[in-house]
Amino acid sequence: MKSLFDQTQVGLLKLKNRFIRSATYEGMADEKGNINDELFKVYEDLAKGGVGTIITGITAVTDLEEFIPGQMGIYNDSFIDNHKKIIEVTHKYNANIILQLGAAGTQTIRNEEKVILGPSNITDLGYKNTPKEMTLEEIVSIQIDFANAALRAKKAGYDGIQIHAAHGYLLSKFLTPYYNRRTDEYGGNIENRSRMLIETYKKIRDKVGKNYPVLIKINCEDFMDQGMTFEECKYVCKKLEELGVDAVEISGGVYLHAQMRAIQEK
């Protein structure tokens, strides 16, 4: 009988046990995305406590858009050395460390100095931000930013990366019919709405090579009116499997106005 303490493997990534810390947003980095001693200790404690594989909180791949407050960054090469300390401290305890890469889209605090991006010009039901509809050039630019960030993660020494395409962040918004009302090749049916994610994955794979672990986090459903359905999620996952994705983490849901209000009232 298998136990949680058994060694296992995901693709070429060896896991010392079956305990995986799913990405959790810490909000501890500075305003530019640099990691501080307090955040280093979070990861050291996780590794010391016996977690076999740790997935970091969402890390910004671009500085074109506004950051989530306290979000880590890896949007240029200057961050590589900053991230190496997290890798060193987790590897000391024989734990894997995987960097979660994401773009916030509308799910951030509005700052007039930076743009808020989205597939369409539809106001976020939870955050109330109205994005600029992305041009084709901006779509390709963000895809390249993801790929370059993945290469930086590999250079720093991370054991793999995870693409965050869940919970209403930018890549998730492209999958959601309510937010994606484009009439070009990136909107409409699920084949088109998943094009942003599929092309992002392909660009990442081209940068990091076929043997570097690339994972994805995706909603099983958005659990909202006009959201992505379970059948559509299965379609996307099967496409990614065909392309060689190493693992899929299934989550669900997006931030809605009523949910946000309930949280704020607690």
At residue 8, the pLDDT reads 85
At residue 258, the pLDDT reads 44
Mean pLDDT of the chain: 92
> Average pLDDT, stretch 214-235?
96
pLDDT, tens digit, 9 for 90 and up, residues 46-87: 999 999 999 999 999 998 888 888 899 999 999 999 999 999
DSSP for 153-219, please give it: HHHHT-SEEEEEE-TTSHHHHHH-TTT----STTSSSHHHHTHHHHHHHHHHHHHH-TTS-EEEEEE
At a CB cut-off of 8 Å and minimum separation 6, what does 99 contact? 55, 56, 59, 74, 83, 153, 156, 158, 160, 161, 162
Which of 9-23, 36-50, 198-212 is most confident? 198-212
> Average pLDDT, stretch 215-240?
96
Task: Please give the DSSP secondary-structure letter assigned to residue 66.
Answer: P
pLDDT, tens digit, 9 for 90 and up, residues 108-147: 887 677 889 999 999 999 999 999 999 999 999 999 999 9
At residue 165, the pLDDT reads 97
Dist. CA 98–CA 81, nearest whole Å: 16
Check residue 50 and give left, alpha or beta (phi > 0: left; psi -120 to 50: alpha): left
pLDDT, tens digit, 9 for 90 and up, residues 247-259: 999 999 888 744 5
> Average pLDDT, stretch 17-28?
91
At residue 11, the pLDDT reads 84
At residue 61, the pLDDT reads 97
Q: For the chain, which domains are there?
A: 8-265 (3.20.20.70)
Give 3 or 245, the one with higher predicted confidence.
Answer: 245
What percentage of the chain reaches a pLDDT higher than 90? 78
Torsion angles phi and psi, residue 247, rounded to 5:
-160, 150
pLDDT band at 15 (very low <50, low <70, confident <90, very high): confident
Dist. CA 192–CA 171, nearest whole Å: 13
pLDDT band at 264 (very low <50, low <70, confident <90, very high): very low
At residue 1, the pLDDT reads 56
Residue with tokens 């930013």: 145
> Is the Cβ–Cβ distance between 54 and 47 less than 8 Å?
yes
> Is the Cβ–Cβ distance between 187 and 193 less than 8 Å?
yes
Give 6 or 173, the one with higher predicted confidence.
Answer: 173
pLDDT of 266 above 60: no
pLDDT of 176 above 70: yes
Of 169, 179, 186, 212, the catalytic one is: 169
Dist. CA 176–CA 165, nearest whole Å: 11
Does residue 169 have an active-site annotation? yes
Claim: this prediction has a pTM higher than 0.85: yes
Torsion angles phi and psi, residue 139, rounded to 5:
-60, -50
At residue 156, the pLDDT reads 97
